[in-house]
Every structure is written in C-alpha cells, then in structure tokens.
Structure 1
Amino acid sequence: MKKIALWLMALMMAFNVNTAAAADILLGPGDVIKVSVFGNPDLSLETRVSQTGSISFPLIGEVAIGGLAASEAEKKIASMLETGGFLRKPQVNLIVTLLQSQQVSVLGQVTRPGRYPIDGTRTLTDILALAGGVGPEGGDIVTLVRTREGKTTKESIDLVDMMRSGDFNKNLELSSNDVVYVERAPRFYIYGEVQRAGFFRLERDMTVLQALSAGGGLSPRGTERGIRIKRRDASGKLTEINAKMDDLVQVDDVVFVKESMF
C-alpha cells in the first residue's frame, strides 16, 4: 500500500506539472515533424530531421532547423518562402509528431523501462510516473546519471525520504540523455524451520521478529531459541552471529531458524 500511495502522488505531480508548449521544444536529429502551409496543401510535409539538423522543404530546398524551437522553425520556413518569392505572408504550422532527439532512459525496476521524451519541463518523478512507477521488485533508491559540459555525475535519490519529508529539492529537472536507474529492493534470506523459506524484501529497520513474520512464522518444529544470522563483513568475510528478536536484519543476511529439541 505504501508504494501505491507513493506513486499515486507521483502521477498527480506528473499531470499537474507546468510543461512547456510544443512551440518551445528544441528540434534535433531524428525528430519527426509535420509541416503545413495554410491554403497550400501541396506544401504539406511530414519528414524526419536529418543528422545534420536539417530538412528538405518544397520550393526552398534544405532548411537548417536543428536547435530551433518549433515556433522559430515555422518563422524560418515562412521567411524563406516569402523572400524566395514563392508566397506572400505564408502561415506555416509545424508540429512534432515524434520526439527522438531529447529523451531520457529509464532502466531497472520500473513497470515500463525504455526511453521517454523530454517534451517540456520534466522532473525525476514525472519521468518515473511515465514509466509506470517503481515495480514490485524495485527499491526506494533511484540513481540518476547525468552528463553536463562533458562531466558525468551520479546521484542517489531516496524517493521515500523525499515523499515523507516533502522536500523536493532532489526532484531534479531532467535533460536529454539523462539515465534514471531504479535499483532492485534489498533482500534477506531465511531458511530452516519456518513456514516459507526463501528470499524476501528487506524493509527499513526490519527486525529478526519481522523477518520471521515475512517467512510465515515458525514451523511446528521451529524455535525462537538459537536463531543465527550469517552475514558478510566489510571485507567480504562470512561471519555467523547469534540473533535476538529485536536485532536489525541487514542486506543479504541469511537467517537460520533451528529445530526445537523438544
């Protein structure tokens, strides 16, 4: 339920965000556009912007529109048609039907991983909402990889902390070619005399008692006495400790429940 509430909030933010109008989208290679000139259906064109940032338009030939907003490209085409003597005060309309040049990659444990367009102002939660939110196996930590002025940085954002605190300073605005990666949720393992042995999601501040509950509780032959945890230390060495019910379980711990002697 916690994750459902979290992503309902994210979806609401996505739909209420003030996105830029289509006219503010900067055109780039790979974008598919549709151009029409009022009263001149023969000049209608649907084409893809080339790798050099240009298109070939009837009558005027090659037009460089890469890096221009859609509204600026409209004015440029209109100006070229008029200065070329082809039309007087042409009314040009340009819409982007497929935005390929400005996209963000969303990877890892989301419902719909893939590439999503930055069609205006998009924040981290906006893009995650477009990707369907964090999946059932997803954790609370999102890694954001960004490249600015040739320098690549990596930042980890705790979504749950951000939502609980209401501090959205970490809800960063994304740009083209950013990468959002949702980690798999941390796990622990439990085996021995429990109802359901296996691996389970490790919740925050989870105790041994809560771990037993996740495993369905003790089997008829199980005992709370002598529960042991196998854990790797910072050097990677495997250690074994006697566990109490209120001890905290850590990532990748293996909890073993012994059989009662009586």
Structure 2
Amino acid sequence: MRLLKTFSLAKIVAIFLFLFAVIGARAQESLLIGPGDLVHVVYFDAGELNQQSRVTDAGDFPLLMGGNIRIAGLTPEQAAAKIAAFMSSSHYLVNPRVVVTVDSYATQSVSVLGAVHLPGAYPIATGKTISEVLALAGGLLPDADRTVVVQRRVTGELLTFYNANSPLTTPDSSAPGVKRTGTTLLTREVMVYPGDTVRVAHAELVYVLGDVGRPGGFPIVNNDAPLTVLQLISLAGATNKTANPNSARLIRKLPDGKFEDIHLPLSSMQKGKQADRPLQAGDIIYVPFSYLKNALLGVGNIASAAGSATIYRY
C-alpha cells in the first residue's frame, strides 16, 4: 500500500514537472534555438535521460545516448519533436514524449542601428514587435527611411519591411547564403527576437528654402513614387503671400560636384499652366522673397543653408 502511494506521488510529481515544462516551452516556442543557448531536454517516463547542455557552435545538441542532433534554427517545440523522432527511430524509447526548453539564450539583446534616436544594444528576453524594439531606441529620426531590415541571429536571413500603404517587392540579396523577403509594417506586426539586428537606413532628402511655410529638408519616402515640385511645396506649407514664385529656382548637384541653377516656373506650375516635375535626391527648391536681395542669393549660399536646414517627417 505504501509502495502504491509512493508510486502515485512520484507519478503526480512527474506529471506536474512535465506540464510545467510544456507551459514554459510554449511560452517561448516562437524563439529559435541558436548556438550557445543552454537547452534543457525533459523525457516524460524516462527522467534518467533528462539533460541540460549548450548547443554547439555547429548548432548541434549532444545527446546522452550518444551522437549529436541539430536543433539550431528550430523552435523548442520543433526541437522536441525532432529529438522524440530520433529516440524512437533509434529504438531507445517507445513513443517518447519530449519537452525542450531554453534555460538561457546566448544572446539576450537586440541591436538597433541606423536612423534612430538612440542606436545600440537593448536587452530583451523574449520576442518583441518591431514597433516595441524601435521604441526602445527612442523611435525613428525625422530623416529615417521607411525601409526597416531585420537580420535573424540564427539563420542570417534578412527580412525587409516597408512602412508604406502597399507591399514592397524587395529584390533578392546578392550576399551568398542570405535570403531576403519583403512585407509591410502596416499589415503585419513583425516580431524581433534576442540576437536579431534591426537596421533603419537614412532616407535621401530634398529641400525647399526661402519664403514658404516650413522651409527645410524632407525625406523622399513617397511609396517609391518620385516626389514632385508641387508635392514638396505642399509639404512645406505652401508659398507665403510675400513670396515671389516667378523667380523660384531649382538647385541640383551634378555628378562632378558642381551645382546647376535652373529657373523653376513655380507660379505657372501652381496655376496648372506648366507641368509638375519630379525631383531627384538632394534637389533644393528656393522660393525667394518678393524683394530683390533674396532673389539674387548665390547658389553656394543656398546649398550651405540646406546643409543646416531643419528635417521634417511626414
């Protein structure tokens, strides 16, 4: 009778430990196992085989029964299924029930680089959405591009996400052994995991200076369509009543580093008498004040002013 009670108690404890391990595994089942992670393998009904070991640099887990099994790049649930299948096919166990948990990850931080307020490494123990990770880094800078790249720690895969109103098709990366896919931030909240790297590029800028509502620089992030003169003037709060749009100028930097000073028929464009025109990265629109002194401002002075202009986000 005492033996029966002892057996029952042991069975209850084993079941409790198994369920606890299952809950722990499922709580982090979306996190991928990587080299250096401390992994705990629990066998239900075969506790003597339970073990805790680190994943090797090659991504393998050394089994007590001999041999290694590759589990890097798998979720804990997938790793448990693979180990169970191995133990069964090798005739070590019949219908094994296995739970895998990661006691500690080799990398417990995510790196956020590029056009964010506070680039650096931030500790995270579980997966976070990309919005949460960007918030850790203080958010995007005004000149941040809408393209956000996440590099996975384990696989090296590059996932490119575009913060736009429509999906962006991203060309395959030229880097060997690296996959790249595309999606949209607004349609799917992307998950970032410990060890991943998030990169935000700086957007190319165009400038509008002079007698406008908001003179400054504006990122070219117009859903991959070229930003036009009238769109930029609108973003800048339109021309002021004191402006002289008939004398507007487009300053464009040439490949040799020199500047081209182009007369811009802004007044006629605003009235629909002249076609709107696309802008190139680095273009500067200068709308002079009505008095002559500003209309005759030199190209060098305009270019220098653009270098210290306020950058706006829209």
Match of 1:193 among 193, 207, 211: 211
Q: State the partner residue of 1:230.
A: 251
Give 1:210 deviation, angstroms. Answer: 2.6
- Conservation of the 8 A alpha-carbon contact between 2:150 and 2:199: yes
Q: Kindly indicate whether residue 270 of structure 2 is the aligned counterpart of residue 260 of structure 1.
A: no
Give 1:258 deviation, angstroms. Answer: 0.9
Give 1:211 deviation, angstroms. Answer: 2.0
- Which protein is richer in strand relative to its size? 1
3-state SS of 2:42 partner = strand
Give 1:241 deviation, angstroms. Answer: 0.9
> How has the CA–CA distance of structure 1 residues 237 and 128 changed in structure 2, closer, same or farther, with 3 Å as cutoff?
farther
Give the aligned CA root-mean-square deviation in angstroms: 5.5
Taking the aligned partners of 2:34 and 2:59, their CA distance within structure 1 comes to 6
Alignment of 1:173-192 (within 5 A): 181-192=199-210
Residue 225 of structure 1 aligns with an amino acid whose one-letter code is N
- Conservation of the 8 A alpha-carbon contact between 1:36 and 1:44: yes
3-state SS of 1:183 partner = strand
Give 1:234 deviation, angstroms. Answer: 2.9
- Conservation of the 8 A alpha-carbon contact between 2:62 and 2:69: no
3-state SS of 1:211 partner = helix
Q: Kindly indicate whether residue 84 of structure 2 is the aligned counterpart of residue 74 of structure 1.
A: yes
Report how many aligned residue pairs link the two structures. Answer: 218
> How has the CA–CA distance of structure 1 residues 108 and 224 changed in structure 2, closer, same or farther, with 3 Å as cutoff?
same
3-state SS of 1:172 partner = strand
Alignment of 1:1-262 (within 5 A): 28-39=34-45, 41=47, 44-55=50-61, 60=64, 63-66=67-70, 70=79, 71-76=81-86, 91-96=97-102, 108-109=114-115, 135=140, 137-140=143-146, 163=167, 172=181, 181-202=199-220, 203=222, 204-245=225-266, 246-261=276-291
- Conservation of the 8 A alpha-carbon contact between 1:114 and 1:131: no
Taking the aligned partners of 2:196 and 2:100, their CA distance within structure 1 comes to 27
3-state SS of 2:181 partner = coil
3-state SS of 2:227 partner = coil
3-state SS of 1:213 partner = helix
Identity of aligned residues (%): 25
Greater relative CO (CA pairs within 8 A, separation 6+):
1
Taking the aligned partners of 2:207 and 2:216, their CA distance within structure 1 comes to 6
Residue 181 of structure 2 aligns with an amino acid whose one-letter code is L
Taking the aligned partners of 1:27 and 1:193, their CA distance within structure 2 comes to 57
- Conservation of the 8 A alpha-carbon contact between 1:110 and 1:182: yes
What stretches of structure 2 of length at least 5 have no aligned partner? 1-28, 73-77, 123-128, 153-157, 173-179, 183-194, 267-275, 293-314
Taking the aligned partners of 1:37 and 1:224, their CA distance within structure 2 comes to 78
Taking the aligned partners of 2:69 and 2:228, their CA distance within structure 1 comes to 60
TM-score (norm 1): 0.55
Taking the aligned partners of 2:33 and 2:86, their CA distance within structure 1 comes to 13
- Conservation of the 8 A alpha-carbon contact between 1:227 and 1:256: yes
TM-score (norm 2): 0.47
